[in-house]
Amino acid sequence: MPIPDFQTLMRPLLAKIQDGKEYPIKALVDALADDFKLTVEERQQLLPSGRQGVLTNRIAWAKTHLRMAGLVELTARGVFCITDRGKSILRDHKERVDLRVLRAQPGYEAARTKKREQTGPVAETSNNESQTPEERIEESYQAIREGLGAEILQKLKAGSPSFFERLVVELLVKMGYGGTRKDAGQAIGRSGDEGIDGTIKEDRLGLDTIYIQAKRWEGSVSRPEIQKFAGALQGFRAKKGIFITTSSFTKEAEDYAAKIDSKIVLIDGEQLWNLMLDYGIGVATVATYAIQKVDSDYFSEEN
């Protein structure tokens, strides 16, 4: 089943700690994953940033709201237990505990307002009320990123072949290939040489050479095109190649590239613009937002 949202997790979280013992949040992640029969892939699913698990993030926000409502209390760093009010809520609400239930608890709205003033959004109730603040931020970030990607591909397809080749050079150098941009620029860009658009050093020492095919296509790149490239590699006794396109590859092309002896990496349009954004090629930063959290060690008086 899908990973439950943070509100759906509230009552199961309370139920797990109803014995009154102290629990670190990490100990509850696997237990709740078992209760909801999550798959291995679902348990390992990360937020788009890759810095935290989706389930862990949602459990943490469920705990935050339960704490603001006085249903749980912290007993140590990262450790909490249920309160008498929490036990009462469990008895009175057999089916579900969510934001509607918490709003009826004395002090909840005041605590929520205070936290919002201190740290920003606190999983507001809206059209996307099932999302945590981090999920909403990252969803918006991904939407902006995808919009940029579409615009980048449009400009690449409208540009000249020589511009595309120069872009490929700059990207590969930024990724650590080819030594200097000058060296790489001399090696690539000689189009039409028996199916090879250019070569680039695998590392700064030039221990191996990678052959490149760069195509600005509208339709999908099919298997025959990959076969031609593979044949060209054999003609040069080469074992490594990169095929970059502004479009996509058919499944047959991908399967063929995966089976042959030569190592051919296929980079489609989506992968290309993602790499360009990751390495800052063709884009400029207009704003930076720092997502912070409280440093518990700083406020510890035991230091």
CATH of the domain at 177: 3.40.1350.10
Amino acid at residue number 222: S
In a domain, 92, yes or no: yes
Residues 6+ apart with CB under 8 A from 191: 161, 165, 197, 198
Q: Are 42 and 82 in the same domain?
A: yes
pLDDT value at position 127? Answer: 44
186 and 125 housed in the same domain = no
Does residue 290 belong to any structural domain of this protein? no
Query: Is 198 found in the same domain as 94?
Result: no
Instruction: Record the tokens describing residue 251, joined without a space.
Output: 């499944």
Long-range contacts of range 105-112, CB-CB < 8 Å, 24 or more positions apart? 105/69, 105/70, 105/71, 106/70, 107/68, 107/69, 107/70, 108/68, 108/69, 108/70, 111/68, 111/69, 112/65, 112/68
Contacts of 80 (CB under 8 A, 6+ apart): 17, 22, 23, 25, 63, 67, 72, 73, 74
Task: Check residue 46 and report its DSSP letter.
Answer: B
N-to-C CA span, the chain: 45
Distance CA 49, CA 7 (A): 22
Counted domains in the chain: 2
User: Does the residue 86 lie in any domain?
Assistant: yes
Residues 236 and 177 in one domain: yes
In a domain, 259, yes or no: yes
For residues 273 and 146, give the distance between their C-alpha atoms in angstroms, rounded to a whole number.
Answer: 9
Q: Is 154 among the domain residues? A: no
Boundaries of domain holding 99: 10-131
Closest by CA to 198, choosing from 226, 160, 172, 174, is 172
252 within 8 A of 222, measured Cβ to Cβ: yes
- Give the amino acid at 165: E
DSSP helix/strand/coil, 265: strand
**The amino acid at 49:** S
Query: Domain check: are 102 and 25 in the same one?
Result: yes
Do both 263 and 168 map to the same domain? yes
Q: Are residues 125 and 19 in the same domain?
A: yes
SS3 at position 57: helix
169 and 272 inside one domain: yes
| Residue 148 resides in a domain | no
The pLDDT tens digits along the chain (303 residues) read 689 999 999 999 999 999 999 999 888 999 999 999 999 999 999 887 777 899 999 999 999 999 999 999 988 877 999 999 999 999 999 999 999 999 999 999 888 887 666 555 554 444 456 788 888 888 888 888 888 999 999 899 888 888 888 888 889 888 888 766 666 655 554 545 556 777 888 877 777 888 888 888 888 999 999 999 999 898 888 889 999 999 999 999 999 999 998 899 999 999 999 999 999 999 998 878 777 777 766 666 554
Q: Is residue 286 part of a domain?
A: no
Same domain, 114 and 173: no
**Whether residue 54 is found in the same domain as residue 107:** yes
* Whether residues 271 and 166 fall in one domain: yes
Q: What is the CA radius of gyration of the chain?
A: 27
* Region of 129 on the Ramachandran plot (φ > 0 left; ψ -120 to 50 alpha; else beta): alpha
Determine the pLDDT at residue 183.
Answer: 65
284: in domain: no
Amino acid at 129: E
Q: DSSP 3-state helix, strand, coil percentages of the chain (rounded to 5)?
A: 50, 15, 35
Asked if 196 and 272 sit in the same domain, the reply is: yes
Rounded CA gap, 81 and 97, in Å? 17
Angle at 27 between CA 23 and CA 31, to 5 degrees: 115
